[in-house]
Chain A
């Protein structure tokens, strides 16, 4: 069957090439990325769905306030009382918002070929790609960096030099980690403000990683790839 490619496959190839466009030798402080966070109805990929998406663009360590995205999404599954407590989004908030297909289209356009950064990002990517696959039969193949992994690597490095860290953080949720890096956190979880906090964590991580010899996107991916 070689030589017979479906349109979908061709699009997929095109996408794939575009997704990995960035030169791995790009210095860390010039890497274009999008910091991403989603709010979900729950943590189970099969049962739950996306309620909102927040994203903010960065270049290297510079957070770009001019380039942000925030969308509430009509969830494919029912809101749970538990999730309402976490992110404060009520069913009534979601009556006139885009469906997930439209939202993901916007997100893809926003992300473009940038590196995607997030905290425990594999969870968010799982949901995003589940729906992209479902509605568009494709997935985002952008390089993905997890701030949690970057933090772990840095911590082990610094431990090796016997500095700063006497003990591990009890947990590594975003707010705990953010406070650890001296970032102000307050208020309820919201996809955009969490993305902004994640961006600030990433910003600091990259600065400290630079001092540990992490120079290029390639280096970053080798230690923080999700």
Chain B
């Protein structure tokens, strides 16, 4: 029988990690073995070098300060803990003297779990052990997601198909294939016979060398009056885009959007396992990012794009509902935005004719990192080929101002506000030949005054979006070479990455804005995501990594960068987590017709979210301290 005064305890513990992961029976028996104590404000609960505690204490209500006294007698605050947090575990496990001093900073009520019960839970309960003995941030994040997903009504949907279904599960298993030397007609007959919209072309070694789809037959054969006796390899579409059978469907969707294809090969352990079509996804879930991409493709004017662009919020909601990780959401959104900008550029090219010299449209900032969520300011520029002569220079001067103005205004119509700092291709300063760009970069890196560093932070996340990609690739290579051994520059960047420290040193876990419009709120962008992006960029630029997306950079640095080797997974999880909080928050604001911002109120978070956020902040602080030491950023100030 559950005794009534235990019910409150069970109710409390069922909302507090890691106890919330225990089953009902274990929780009930745990509740019956606890005791409860009260510590008025300023009570010293545990004393450094004092007696080992016999209990793990969970704060029911109140707050404590954990500190360590150094040999020199200096008190260093290690942490503040509040409702739902616990303390005293290590002295239980190590059976040593108490390592920290814990003082109540408010009237505090604690539940006390006896040592042997804790030990028993650690021995028998994997989730419990993971929580305490491993770095829980990484282990937890999935649970946090599930928590978020089940919490509010609009995440309650049952269809999380894109993110829970593996490609292998829905791909057409029986692949219809044909030899390379067969005729187009044979291929078409085979497709008709099996009522499929695509056929895989196999090379001698039975390896897939291409695919022929209905579209190929239409566009490459019928419309051009091609001889149907020609070998099928003449009209197939190489290279084949493929996904692994174990990948989740969204990976496939992403590739299909990116490459503008409607069929994708599914491979498993190198062997062909099936084909997945656009149609399969449509059946799976009416209205997908794919349809959205197609919508964009079909538009011929800015006016036509406007209604399509307004639907993007719906996509974000859909993705959230399906349980997408923040990075997956931003990748898909960036991909769709990319297509939209490309479309605008194509429209502009039709209107103004082909440019006098090859050019590359580059984007930077969050667009450059593929980390866009809701519409952000335009951050774009043009690298064009150096003019060969006066006439060409004149043609360039005549062409780009109108062209870029059209694009700028078009993008504004589609809901991308102009960049207040004028970091746009329409600004003549940012529409320059490769040689000038190289000069810019050279100046910023070799004379890193604050303004130069600021520009580096923004522009060095550039990637090509449209046009002559090789111009951007050349510039990137130039930059990689330029940055070698530029210690002063990196020290400056390190200074930036350690400038905004996430708040921890306050009672009840978070320091929040003390006054003004955002009183009691926490700026997730400046205090959370910003520092993460900055530190990973620093590592990437120093390591010669050409990726721009933060998580791609992390992955590229896994073998080489000491910080990433040690903390790569945790950085990834922290990044995902904070971004998801931001997206959720902004979607909520959008629903309520409020202007979007990055301020969240920590008290509105669940215990688990608070815990994860706090862990993320602790991680950032740890890396910042490491960076300060490693780059001697202190000298630069």
Contact = CB atoms under 8 A, between A and B. Distances in A.
**Quick one: which of B6, B32, B37 has the most chain A CB within 10 A?**
B37
B4 A193 contact: yes
Contacts of B37: 61-63, 203
Interface string B197-215: 0000000000000000000
A182 B41 CA distance: 13
B82 to A, nearest CB: 17
Contacts of A62: 35-37, 112
Interface in B24-45: 31-40, 43
Interface string B1-28: 0011110010000000000000000000
A105 B5 CA distance: 24
Interface stretch (A9-17, A64-72, A212-220): A64-72
Interface string A198-217: 00100110011001000000
Interface string A176-210: 00000010000000101100100010011001100
B33 to A, nearest CB: 5
Interface string B33-64: 11111111001000000000000000000000
Contact of A182 (B3, B35, B39, B107): B107
Contacts of B39: 207
Interface in B82-120: 107, 112
Nearest to A203: B38
Contacts of A211: 40
Nearest to A187: B4
A25 B4 CA distance: 35
A68 B3 contact: yes
Interface string A36-70: 00000000000000000000100101111110101
Nearest to A57: B35
Contacts of A68: 3, 5
Contacts of B5: 56, 65, 68, 192-193, 196
Interface residues of B, number: 18
A63 B35 contact: yes
A105 to B, nearest CB: 21
Given A70-B3, A190-B4, A207-B43, A65 B33 contact: yes
A59, A66, A68, A190, most chain B CB atoms within 10 A: A66
A211 B39 CA distance: 12
Nearest to A195: B5
A65 B38 contact: no
A207 B32 CA distance: 24
Contacts of A204: 38, 40
A39 to B, nearest CB: 14
B342 to A, nearest CB: 61
B38 A61 contact: yes
Nearest to A54: B5
B40 A207 contact: yes
Given A193-B4, A200-B38, A65 B32 contact: yes
A192 B35 contact: no
A160 to B, nearest CB: 19
A66 B34 contact: yes
Contacts of A61: 37-38
Contacts of A203: 36-38
B9 A207 contact: no
B4 A63 contact: no
Contacts of B9: 65
Nearest to A202: B38
B5 to A, nearest CB: 5
Contacts, number: 50
B38 A192 contact: no
A147 B31 CA distance: 26
Nearest to B111: A65
A65 B4 contact: no
Contacts of A200: 36, 38
A66 B32 contact: yes
A130 B268 CA distance: 83
Contact of A63 (B31, B32, B36, B43): B36
A62 B38 CA distance: 8
A14 to B, nearest CB: 31
Contacts of A66: 32-35
Contacts of A196: 5
A64 B35 contact: yes
A65 B6 contact: yes
A207 B33 contact: no
Contacts of B43: 207
A214 to B, nearest CB: 14
Contacts of B35: 59, 62-66
Residue in B6, B34, B36 with the greatest tally of chain A CB atoms within 10 Å: B36
A200 B34 CA distance: 15
Contacts of A182: 107
A66 B112 CA distance: 11
Nearest to B38: A203
B488 to A, nearest CB: 57
Contacts of A193: 4-5
Nearest to A206: B38
A29 to B, nearest CB: 9
Contacts of A59: 35
B440 to A, nearest CB: 63
Contact of A207 (B4, B34, B38, B112): B38
Contacts of B33: 65-66
B602 to A, nearest CB: 23
A100 B39 CA distance: 38
Q: B5, B6, B9, B32 — which one has the most chain A CB atoms within 10 A of its CB?
A: B5
B632 to A, nearest CB: 49
A148 B33 CA distance: 29
Contacts of A190: 4
A65 B33 CA distance: 6
Contacts of A65: 3, 5-6, 9, 31-36
Nearest to A182: B107
Contacts of A208: 40
Nearest to B34: A65
B38 to A, nearest CB: 5
Interface in A60-110: 61-66, 68, 70
Interface in B308-365: none
A34 to B, nearest CB: 14
Contacts of B38: 61, 200, 203-204, 207
Interface in B218-265: none
Nearest to A65: B34
A184 B250 CA distance: 49
Nearest to A60: B37
Contacts of B34: 65-66
A77 B9 CA distance: 36
Contacts of B107: 182
Nearest to A59: B35
A180 to B, nearest CB: 13
A56 B36 CA distance: 12
Contacts of B6: 65
A66 B34 CA distance: 6
A61 B6 CA distance: 18
A190 B39 CA distance: 26
Interface string B531-572: 000000000000000000000000000000000000000000
8 contacts: A56-B5, A59-B35, A61-B37, A62-B35, A65-B34, A65-B36, A70-B3, A193-B4
7 shortest A-B CB distances, which residue pairs?
A: A63-B36, A64-B35, A203-B38, A62-B35, A196-B5, A62-B37, A65-B34
Interface of A: 56, 59, 61-66, 68, 70, 182, 190, 192-193, 196, 200, 203-204, 207-208, 211
Given A192-B5, A208-B40, 6 more contacts: A56-B5, A62-B37, A66-B35, A68-B5, A182-B107, A190-B4
